[in-house]
Chains A and B, each alone.
Chain A
């Protein structure tokens, strides 16, 4: 279990992490979601006592990181940047870590096996591909067989097979009762792996809830319809206690009712329909809306050519 309390980090005048408080619980995958620059890596570095917080605390199973006897046996971490020496072989990179925490040498072979790098154990790690480097980093994290694992954007730059492998590994590690804390800037990635979700934007906590709750709260389902008889439709729906909202492209959107019920209701009043469909806003949209006020760099809306308009006009 990791507990953060009022964790804050300022770099000069910039507040990278702003009074973050949340708890990472065992036996599940906790996703740490936020746009680029939200402060995820900085938070994780503070959890590992690499960066000193400006204020606030992090406790790992109730203790400060520096009080852990042999930290690799409590917590294993894969950081966002390469954090091993490329001039050493995979084997020696892991061996020196094992020795510093009195982890038996055979464990080095075991974790190399586990991540599928046994064949290149004696090769210098600077010649490794992105995916192999990532696997070596994960082997280092697993070295002490820790009960807490932390991965900073583990799927970045990986091929689909590698991504699949990491997802399954994280789920498997969680089912063993370990605490898994994984960051990403992609909602879709989190939706596939995380049981619990912590969302931050500009260093501030935006959401801390189970994935199921997040989906329920944030993925709005609604009915979309198009009709030449807009006024009549509005009146009919209003008499049934429903509100039709203009979608902007001439269609109407109705929350809180099924397509069946709305179709029947409008048929009774002989309304002509050109479209009637059930819609679901994506989680990605929900995430973007949540962090809209909190992204560092906005793309300039409308600065480029308006493709939609061009097609319509032609």
Chain B
């Protein structure tokens, strides 16, 4: 038995957010599910986008049909389906830690819950934003090439369907991550998020009376698929006070901020 306490040759410094981000990035890239969900997303968006462009190109020969940048809206279908991938990845980023017990190891290594969640959020957000923006830009360019026209789309429209859509999808994923942190359960969280996406449509169908016309329209217009669509189309042209332009992004940012605040509080208060 010795009386001198052990001293390690490894120096101790103050760990910071950067270290947590490096750690979360390793976690993200070392799981096959990351590659799968993002891979499926890329194939869906690009594949469907190009297929659609070919189909439409066959149907109408005149390039004037795409005036006003409407050629860019062809990316919407693939992106709508891609929301499922982003939701799944966002949820799994946190719930897989609770499911496997890894969260206990993570928190003993980094006892600051806030830092862990922030690092996860940053890594996830950056990954989804970059992937979605790139695949959107590539898909739109491919569609224009197939149809032989850009349809006179403005720079603003281009930025909205690339960077705008990238941000929207990244925030949607972050919202899923926050829901995962609150519910801690993979299937439950994914179901909740899919429900959030579909519920407005179910309600709209269920509330089919003339008196509820306005409510029904609002439900649909503010649903996640419609908000995403607005980024592509620019929104309703009529006089209705519905989201248009960049507004969908501010809406999803607000919702995500609230959910994320809840996630921070829950992670700090509850036992791991």
Contact = CB atoms under 8 A, between A and B. Distances in A.
Given A48-B108, A49-B111, A107 B10 contact: yes
A155 B272 CA distance: 24
Interface string B93-121: 00011001110111111111000000000
Nearest to A73: B12
A92 B26 contact: yes
B108 A50 contact: yes
Residue from the set B23, B104, B105, B107 with the largest chain A CB neighbour count within 10 Å: B105
A66 B114 CA distance: 12
B23 A27 contact: no
Contacts of A101: 15, 19, 109-110
A310 to B, nearest CB: 47
Interface in B13-57: 13-15, 19-20, 22-24, 26-27, 30-33
B31 to A, nearest CB: 5
Interface in A86-100: 86-89, 92, 95-97, 99-100
Given A50-B104, A99-B23, A27 B1 contact: yes
B30 A88 contact: yes
Interface in A246-272: none
A59 interface: no
B32 A97 contact: no
B1 A84 contact: no
A148 to B, nearest CB: 9
A175 interface: yes
B2 A27 contact: yes
Interface residues of A, number: 54
A97 B23 contact: yes
Given A52-B271, A77-B108, A96 B23 contact: yes
A99 B100 contact: no
A177 B13 contact: no
Contacts of A96: 23-24, 26-27, 30
A220 interface: no
A27 B5 contact: yes
A89 B7 CA distance: 30
B56 to A, nearest CB: 41
Nearest to A50: B272
Contacts of B101: 79, 81-84
B105 A97 contact: yes
B4 interface: yes
Contact of A147 (B6, B32, B110, B271): B6
B9 interface: yes
18 contacts: A26-B5, A27-B2, A48-B107, A49-B108, A65-B111, A69-B12, A69-B15, A77-B108, A81-B104, A86-B100, A87-B33, A100-B106, A102-B19, A103-B10, A146-B8, A147-B6, A177-B6, A178-B5
Please list the 10 inter-chain residue pairs (A to B) with the smallest Cβ-Cβ separation, ordered nearest first: A92-B30, A100-B23, A145-B8, A177-B6, A96-B26, A51-B271, A83-B101, A99-B23, A99-B22, A147-B6
Given A50-B271, A88-B30, 11 more contacts: A27-B5, A45-B272, A50-B108, A83-B101, A84-B102, A85-B96, A96-B27, A100-B109, A147-B7, A177-B5, A178-B5
